[in-house]
């Protein structure tokens, strides 16, 4: 047992939980499934809002084939509330996902989706990880790709821009 002030320990625990959530989203965006998997306990359960319900290990295996082929993706987490209770916690976070699909010259579109995750965390062997995730879909909007880079204000030649990519072809993995 630590001699830390309980309020300080609560802040440290909440920050550790937040980091788990952010790293999992980074893993989704970069198709780094090992990073996503590190956020779950081995016996965790995933309820992905009607699209999957079962062991998180099975969900993660499905991501190994899906995410590397998915379009560009950015998850933005907001409105994070963490309620601690000893070595368990409930974390609710709002996730806005921006996805660009069909980049290979087809009918591409941009998709913006808001969902919430309600995660039960457990601290085992000193590490906070997700024991059960419940995803709740809120809304989705799709639009045709109309990329103009601020109508030329950023650049009139988008081919010069360094763009995000999947693992290992992203600046993150070259830092």
Q: What pLDDT, on the 0 to 100 scale, is given for residue 104?
A: 63
Q: What pLDDT, on the 0 to 100 scale, is given for residue 64?
A: 94
Residue 123 CB contacts under 8 Å (≥ 6 apart), including other chains: 13, 87, 88, 89
> How many angstroms separate the CA atoms of 23 and 48, rounded?
18
Q: What pLDDT, on the 0 to 100 scale, is given for residue 96?
A: 98
Q: What pLDDT, on the 0 to 100 scale, is given for residue 103?
A: 60
CATH number belonging to domain 6-174: 3.10.450.50
Strand 127-144 versus strand 40-47 pairing type: parallel
pLDDT (tens digit, 9 = 90+) per residue, 89-98? 999 999 999 9
**pLDDT beyond 70 at 115:** yes
Regarding pTM above 0.85, the answer is: yes
pLDDT (tens digit, 9 = 90+) per residue, 120-145? 999 999 999 999 999 999 999 999 88
Q: How confident is the model at residue 102 (pLDDT cuts 50, 70, 90)?
A: confident
Q: What pLDDT, on the 0 to 100 scale, is given for residue 131?
A: 98
For residues 49 and 147, the model is more confident at 49
């Amino acid at each position: 047992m630590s001699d830390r002030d309980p309020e300080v320990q609560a802040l440290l625990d909440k920050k550790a939980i937040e980091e788990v959530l952010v790293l999992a989203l980074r893993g989704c965006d970069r198709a780094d499934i090992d990073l996503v998997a590190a956020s779950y306990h081995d016996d965790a359960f995933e309820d992905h809002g009607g699209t999957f319900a079962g062991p998180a290990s099975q969900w993660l295996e499905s991501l190994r084939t899906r995410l590397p082929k998915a379009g560009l993706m950015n998850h933005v987490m907001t409105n994070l509330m963490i309620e601690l209770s000893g070595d368990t916690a409930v974390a609710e976070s709002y996730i806005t996902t921006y996805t660009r699909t069909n980049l290979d010259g087809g009918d591409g579109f941009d998709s913006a989706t808001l969902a919430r995750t309600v995660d039960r965390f457990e601290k085992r062997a000193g590490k906070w990880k997700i024991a059960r995730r419940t995803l709740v879909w809120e809304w989705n909007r799709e639009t045709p790709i109309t990329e103009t880079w601020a109508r030329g204000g950023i650049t009139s030649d988008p081919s010069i821009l360094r763009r995000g990519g999947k693992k290992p072809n992203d600046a993150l993995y070259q830092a």
